[in-house]
């Protein structure tokens, strides 16, 4: 008997082939006597399908596992929505890279059968949160699984800010912004900006300057439990933004203070039993795959 009796399904809504994959997934689950629970917007795209549904942020109340059909972006959005539930999440890749979505939509039965027999790996991925204060009053907040990014928004101007770690002054920087990435996000925007790849099990963050005016400003790896404070300098002529996983933007203002910390809890991520992070890197990043002793 499966360890999971009710499985929530979240999916991108912009591609017909994704709906086809969702239908195949529902058929598979029902054959296993597992009840699918569709996210409300997905259910609205499938009229006539008689299964339970629930709003995205309440999905965890109705299931003991969640599957995300889409790419890494879909997975990130789902993670932020259900992170307050202690339930595992599994990704079915209908995107491009698929660092977070392991299961092929073309081999659902072969890849899902072992997982529902209890043969899988589970790991915890931590998240980070940002809180913005304006004149000592809260003005915005957000969470991220991949990264929090301070950037100029729609302006082409550089921004100037002060960086503090654990209340110690680190630097004053003029640049296009700063990426604060988790190990999960180290293979995303931070990697494109020249940051290092962090193994998912590391309890660390990487801070990556974006096109700094001073070329000696380099990425820094710090303890994940450190307290980061960014002060947007009063001299800035634009209102920068703080982006959460590239999907949610919070507007900051000159003089604002941005506090970034590790979020309590996190995401329980399920992988197939043979999952290998280095193999994922070889596959997704085009590393040399031949072994020559």
Domain 6-119+273-285, CATH number (from 1.10.10.60, 3.40.50.880, 3.40.50.720, 3.40.50.10330): 3.40.50.10330
Architecture of domain 127-264: Sandwich (2.60)
Q: Report domain extents, the chain.
A: 6-119+273-285, 127-264
Question: CA torsion angle for 48, 51, 57, 59 (degrees, to 10)?
Answer: -170
86 belongs to the catalytic site:
no
* Residue 202, annotated as binding a ligand: no
* Residue 290, annotated as binding a ligand: no
What pLDDT does 1 receive?
A: 52
* Residue 11, annotated as binding a ligand: no
pTM given for the model? 0.94
Above 90 in pLDDT, residue 14?
no
| Pick from 183, 29, 188: nearest CA to 112 | 29
Contact call for residues 233 and 152 (beta carbons, < 8 A): no
* Residue 278, annotated as binding a ligand: no
What pLDDT does 233 receive?
A: 97
Please tell me which residue in 64, 72, 102, 245 is annotated as part of the active site: 72
User: Longest Cα pair distance anywhere in the chain, in angstroms?
Assistant: 63
List, in sequence order, every residue forming a beta bridge with 120; answer none if it has no partner: 272
Mean pLDDT along residues 199-228? 96
Match 């591609």 to its residue by tokens: 15
């Amino acid at each position: 008997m499966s360890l999971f009796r009710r499985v929530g399904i979240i999916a991108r809504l912009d591609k017909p082939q994704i709906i086809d994959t969702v239908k195949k997934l529902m058929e598979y689950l029902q054959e296993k006597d597992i009840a699918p629970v569709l996210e409300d917007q997905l259910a609205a795209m499938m009229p006539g399908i008689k299964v339970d549904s629930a709003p995205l942020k309440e999905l965890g109340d109705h299931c003991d596992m969640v599957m995300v059909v889409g790419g890494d972006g879909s997975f990130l959005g789902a993670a932020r929505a259900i992170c307050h539930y202690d339930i595992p999440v599994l990704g079915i890749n209908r995107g491009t890279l698929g660092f977070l979505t392991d299961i092929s939509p073309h081999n659902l039965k072969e890849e899902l059968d072992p997982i529902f027999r209890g043969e899988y790996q589970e790991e915890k991925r931590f998240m980070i949160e940002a809180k913005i204060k304006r004149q000592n009053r809260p003005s915005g907040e957000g969470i991220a699984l991949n990264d929090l990014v301070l950037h100029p928004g729609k302006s082409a101007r550089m921004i100037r800010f002060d960086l503090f770690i654990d209340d110690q002054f680190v630097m004053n920087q003029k640049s296009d912004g700063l990426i604060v990435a988790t190990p999960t996000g180290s293979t995303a925007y931070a990697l494109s900006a020249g940051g290092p790849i962090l193994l998912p099990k590391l309890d660390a963050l990487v801070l990556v300057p974006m096109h700094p005016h001073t070329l000696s400003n380099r990425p820094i790896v710090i303890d994940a439990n450190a307290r980061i404070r960014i002060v947007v300098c009063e001299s800035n002529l634009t209102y920068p933004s703080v982006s959460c996983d590239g999907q949610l933007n919070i507007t900051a203002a000159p003089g604002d203070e941005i506090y970034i910390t590790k979020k309590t809890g996190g995401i329980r991520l399920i992988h197939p039993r043979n999952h290998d992070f280095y193999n994922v890197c070889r596959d997704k990043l085009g590393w040399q795959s031949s072994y020559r002793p």
